[in-house]
Amino acid sequence: MIDRRTALAGVAAMFGAGLFAPIARAAQVTAPELISEGPPSVAVFTPAQHLLMTALSERVIPTTDTPGAIAAGVPAFIEKLLADWALPADRVPILAGLDAIEARAQQDYKVAAAKATPEQQDALLTLAMNGAIPGGQAFFEAFRQLVIAGYYTSEIGITQEREYLPVPGEYNGAFPYSQVNKVYSA
């Protein structure tokens, strides 16, 4: 079975130079004892920010016919990565973005962003992505990378969203594309 470290290295190769710094640092570690297990070493989010981060991660990769970000443990991954691999400056766009989204939700919908409807949360993320919220673009790019990395390095992302085959079989250059079920991750 592929481990999370190997999957992170693959994500680093996929994103290339534009990778969010904490993900890049975690992907470059080769000694297993340097990656600690367990809870984050410091609290990164306030309770309200944690609720919002959790809700927004599910909007980036929602539950469909496969489990979404919450089921894959993405919020815990994000908190662990920001606590143990991010420099204080790396956390700024995420924390500032969450606060800006919260303020915009209060302004537009008169409700906490974590309690907004999925459609309202999608609208808030779209505003952030398009730079209509202060610091929104920096937040959105970093947050999206964290969610994708957390999801596709989780057991759910590797085994249910994708199909893990360490050796995917023989090469068949004429295999009909219509018969491809899932994208393979190795």
Integer CA distances (angstroms), 151 to 9, 76, 104, 120, 156, in order: 14, 11, 27, 23, 7
Is the alpha carbon torsion for 147, 153, 155, 161 positive or negative?
positive
Q: Is the pLDDT of residue 17 over 60?
A: no
Integer CA distances (angstroms), 82 to 23, 66, 129, in order: 9, 26, 21
State the Cα–Cα distance between residues 44 and 23, nearest whole angstrom. Answer: 16
Position 176 confidence tier, pLDDT thresholds 50, 70, 90: confident
Helical residues (DSSP H) of 63-110, grouped into ranges: 74-84, 88-109
Q: Is the pLDDT of residue 56 over 90?
A: yes
Position 10 confidence tier, pLDDT thresholds 50, 70, 90: low
Integer CA distances (angstroms), 164 to 13, 34, 57, 83, in order: 18, 26, 23, 29
Q: What is the pLDDT of residue 84?
A: 87
pLDDT digits (tens, 9 = 90+) for 111-146: 999 999 999 999 999 999 999 999 999 999 999 999
